[in-house]
Copies of this chain bind each other. A is one copy, B any other.
């Protein structure tokens, strides 16, 4: 096993509040273990193919930079949504990349991302083995969607969940100030899985009942049952707040967000109207059938980039998986993804582990059936038992001039 001189790290896929904490974990651990240079890919593997490389030794020399980096949302290095081709069909990008690895004397490559990014690591590791390279390739999990297999959860999810829970709690306050009946439908990210929508349940506590209903993409939308439940709850409660995953589909497999506009609806400029969302669809549906005052709120991009509501547990674990990935590479591992293993719920304790990256790539973990309530319109207490520890504690930004200070390249 050859020693590692320099390492290379990239970020890929959508932003999270803690992806940069993983970068800090990779950087600090690699330096501590003796790497001379830690290089960063600008805009992931796509930027790397254009040799967009930065020397992180120059950017992160002060411990203050590391603290700022941990508190900076989105992707410090920039990101991409780019998949490597099958090398049997097109070997060119692999040749290019391995040439760059040689040029920069790279002994290990780390890629922080979701299941698409794990596909990149799997392909690079397989190609490396084929060409008998000694370079190690390790994946670092990241996604607010929490849909990666073989890990208890993914860094990024806890902070998104904390943002969603706190925001739903604020919306419940906001919606109950008037002595009027109303229904507020809040749209939450999650095209295929309901992990994020389910996190709305964490708003509940001694001072808040939490959302009245939660719809997840794991269950097909049943209009009749839905309207019956809204109608029944409306009789009991002053105001309703319904959390809905953007990816909810009806029994025919159509996304509700695709049904919002009437047939042939156009925008002000005569083009096909943009989809205005699942929450809008449900708010319109309730209004049309039950006649009550409705409101649609879309949490939008805020749920993935809200550093003021980062979970300290999440930041810490994001850092740890970054560090553990480096340790694994220095031990000689390759083609692996770092995982989080939950030792116990109470007290909450985790360890890092490793799994074959090819087992993770391109797969999706759904919310278990038994964590969804029988009528399919809420989550069970088991969901909260799982998710509650992930939103514990805070890591506040450094506020400068009234706003969070970030670190940028």
Contacts and interface: CB of A to CB of B under 8 A. Distances in A.
A266 interface: yes
Contact of A401 (B205, B261, B262, B406): B205
Given A174-B15, A304-B174, A269 B288 contact: yes
A283 B269 CA distance: 11
A47 B268 contact: no
A394 B400 contact: no
Contacts of A169: 403-404, 406
Contact of A285 (B72, B166, B269, B308): B269
A171 interface: yes
Contacts of A273: 261-262, 265
Interface string A353-367: 000000000000000
Nearest to A12: B177
Nearest to A267: B284
Interface in A380-409: 388, 391-394, 396, 399-408
A81 interface: yes
Contacts of A287: 271
Prevailing SS type, chain A contact patch: mixed
A307 interface: yes
Contacts of A309: 308
A324 B142 CA distance: 51
B403 A399 contact: no
Given A288-B271, A297-B301, A306 B170 contact: yes
A283 B162 CA distance: 30
A179 interface: yes
Interface string A1-22: 0000000000000110000000
B284 A274 contact: yes
Given A169-B406, A274-B283, A297 B297 contact: no
